[in-house]
Every structure is written in C-alpha cells, then in structure tokens.
C-alpha cells in the first residue's frame, strides 16, 4: 500500500505493471484496517486503471483463487495465493494465458510458484 501511494503519480501517468509477492489476500482483510487490507489495495489499483491478470483471466474473485502461488513453510496443505501481476486494464483483453507453476514441479525450488502472464503484443482481444 505504501509503495502504491508513494508512486501513485507514476502509476497514473505511465502504463504500469506491478508484479510480485505482495503477502496479501482478501481472506485476511479482517486482520487489517480497510485502507490497508488486500481489498483496499485492489480498489486503489483499480482506481489507477490496474487489474490482476490472474483474476481477470480466470474470472475468479480475490480470496477465492483456485490456484495457490505460495505454500506456507513449503507444505502442500498450507496453500495461499499471494503473488500477483497487476496490469493496465486496457491490456487485459490481450492476455492470452495466465498459468501458475505446479506444486510438484517447484516443490524443491521454492515455497512460491511462478506466475506466467502472456500478453499479445498486438490488438488481438480475447472473446
């Protein structure tokens, strides 16, 4: 939240991608003040014209993700979705694919899973 507030003018002025481990999910909203929780962050980014590529592509609500990006203490039984790639909403219809690496393929490398976002470099829109 602090970084988005700090760089708000840049986010508003230029096409911006915000990607990475945000340690955030709507399932923990009640643990934080409304202006500091995940839903508050999503709202702030939306006001700046950004959307989560994963949520847009898979048509899933924040907090209802079917594909985890992180396994707490490397345990398969402790999955969470905390890694994101927010993109300009005007790019969203050009997203061709969004994939999360599997638990099995990455279990020996990291507690996080890669988030792959493929965006067409032309104006082809997804139906």
Mind listing the pLDDT tens digit for each residue in 45-80? 999 999 999 999 999 999 999 999 999 999 999 999
Q: How far apart are CA 42 and CA 45, in angstroms?
A: 5
Mind listing the pLDDT tens digit for each residue in 81-104? 999 999 999 999 999 999 999 999
Q: How far apart are CA 87 and CA 116, in angstroms?
A: 13
Q: Residue ranges of the domains in the chain?
A: 2-119
Q: Which fold has domain 2-119?
A: Deoxyribonuclease I; Chain A (3.60.10)
DSSP 27: G
**Residue 10, Ramachandran bin (φ over 0: left; ψ between -120 and 50: alpha; else beta):** alpha
- This prediction has a pTM of 0.92
Indicate if the pLDDT at residue 124 is higher than 70: no
């Amino acid at each position: 939240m602090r970084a988005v507030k700090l760089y708000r003018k840049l986010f508003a002025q230029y096409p911006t991608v915000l990607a990475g481990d945000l340690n955030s999910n709507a399932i923990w909203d009640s643990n934080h003040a409304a202006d500091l929780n995940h839903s508050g962050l999503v709202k702030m980014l939306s006001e700046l014209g950004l959307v989560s590529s994963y949520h847009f592509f898979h048509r899933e609500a924040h907090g209802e993700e079917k594909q985890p990006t992180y396994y707490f203490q490397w345990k398969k039984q402790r999955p969470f979705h905390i890694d994101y790639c927010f993109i300009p909403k005007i790019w969203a219809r050009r997203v061709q694919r969004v994939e999360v690496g599997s638990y099995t393929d990455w279990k020996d490398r990291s507690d996080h899973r890669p988030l792959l976002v493929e965006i067409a470099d032309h104006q082809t829109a997804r139906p």
